[in-house]
Amino acid sequence: MSEAHDARRVTVSVPATAANLGVGFDVLGLALDLTAQFTFEPSGQLAIRGYDDPAGPAANLVWRSYVAGCEALGLDPHLLTIEERSPIPRSGGLGSSSTCIVAGIVAAQVLAGRDIDRSLTLNLATTLEGHPDNVAPAVMGGLVSSYVNDGQTVTTRWPVAPNLRFVCLAPPYRVLTSDARQALPSMVPMSSVSWQVGRCLAMVSSLASGRADLIRDCCHDRIHEPYRAPLIPDYERLQDVALEAGAITFLISGSGAAMLAICDGDQSAARVEAASLAAMPSLWARTMRASERGVSAR
């Protein structure tokens, strides 16, 4: 292996993401305008600032992803001081782990004096994460559909209509991804497959065009949300509150516990956010736009 980097400080910025978007199970993901920043600096010892992993610095996901990135590039990893500054809730569902994975892989490239190779980043991030729906929009920005073919992650990207707002709600508890996966049925009826495919295509079109009526009509998932919603004790109550306040639709973000209300315009989003916080003051709540920018470094 060759040297991994020159001696300089690098900051990597990665957007939060919302995956699945209801009918796009394990396929669709959306980048949001909430950004996590990770600073990497060559150091005499490994140190992680901003997030303490109980298992120690070597178990930190950002560090492990940096090491994996170096190995993929044929480089020697060097000890670093890594500082995490992330406003993304760690309760799950808004891509907090994906930001760590993408940041580490990108840092390996930039510290070596290379440009960001988005294809390499996406393929390795998908391998580390296990599926591409969260990491793809974190790398690419915008609304992304993705699948894996012969080990290569293939993406299609669309810009999101400027009228849409995304009210993200994170409760003060977690849903483990393993529990969310275990809750899913092992098989689904053929009728559910055709239901899902048609509505997934309509969801992509409506998010790109900003058509609230079509989003409202096509967003009803049959494959994962009915089985995962019971894992989020406040889901039904907050869904009722958000829809009554004017949300177009209300979805589980990723596998939860975060939830996502899609709204048409700022005023509607403000009403939904306020009503949700009034119903559950312990919520983390923020209204966001889609981000057309994926990972970046400076």
Q: Identify whether 266 is part of a domain.
A: yes
Rounded-to-integer distance, Cα 101 and Cα 217, Å: 35
Alpha carbons within 13 A on the beta-carbon side of 260: 30
Q: Residues 143, 8: one domain?
A: yes
Q: Residues 102, 169: one domain?
A: no
Q: Residues 171, 151: one domain?
A: no
Q: Residues 150, 178: one domain?
A: no
Query: In which element (H, E) is residue 272 found?
Result: helix 266-279
Q: Identify whether 121 is part of a domain.
A: yes
Q: Residues 23, 88: one domain?
A: yes
Q: Residues 168, 113: one domain?
A: no
pLDDT at res. 1: 56
Domain boundary among 138, 158, 178: 158
pLDDT at res. 4: 53
3-state percent breakdown (helix, strand, coil) of the chain, nearest 5: 40, 25, 35
Q: Which of 204, 280, 219, 228 is nearest to 250 (CA)?
A: 219
pTM for this prediction: 0.94
What CATH code is carried by the domain that includes residue 133? 3.30.230.10
pLDDT at res. 39: 98
Q: Identify whether 15 is part of a domain.
A: yes
What CATH code is carried by the domain that includes residue 225? 3.30.70.890
Q: Identify whether 296 is part of a domain.
A: no
- Beta strands 249-252 and 10-19 are unpaired
Burial 255-289 (b: 16+ CB within 10 A, else e): bbbbbbbbbbeeebbbbbbebbeebbeebbbbbbb
Q: Identify whether 16 is part of a domain.
A: yes
Q: Identify whether 205 is part of a domain.
A: yes
Q: Residues 253, 132: one domain?
A: no
Q: Residues 108, 217: one domain?
A: no
**Is the distance from CB of 87 to CB of 95 less than 8 angstroms?**
no
Q: CB under 8 Å to 295, separation ≥6 — which residues?
A: 12, 13, 14, 15, 102, 103, 106, 116, 118, 121, 138, 139
Q: Residues 46, 147: one domain?
A: yes
Q: Residues 168, 153: one domain?
A: no
Q: Which of 210, 246, 214, 253 is nearest to 232 (CA)?
A: 253
Token pair for 44: 């005499």
Domain count, the chain: 2
C-alpha dihedral, 130 to 133 to 139 to 143, nearest 10°? 170
Phi/psi-derived region of residue 50, left when phi > 0, alpha when psi is between -120 and 50, beta in every other case:
left
What domain range includes position 251? 164-288
pLDDT at res. 181: 86
How confident is the prediction along the chain (298 residues), in pLDDT tens digits per residue? 555 555 589 999 999 999 999 999 999 999 999 999 999 999 989 999 987 777 678 889 999 999 999 999 999 999 999 999 999 998 889 999 999 999 999 999 999 999 999 999 999 999 999 889 999 999 999 999 999 999 899 999 999 999 999 999 999 999 887 888 889 888 889 999 999 999 999 999 999 999 999 999 999 999 999 999 999 999 999 999 999 999 999 999 998 899 999 999 999 999 999 999 999 999 999 999 999 999 999 9
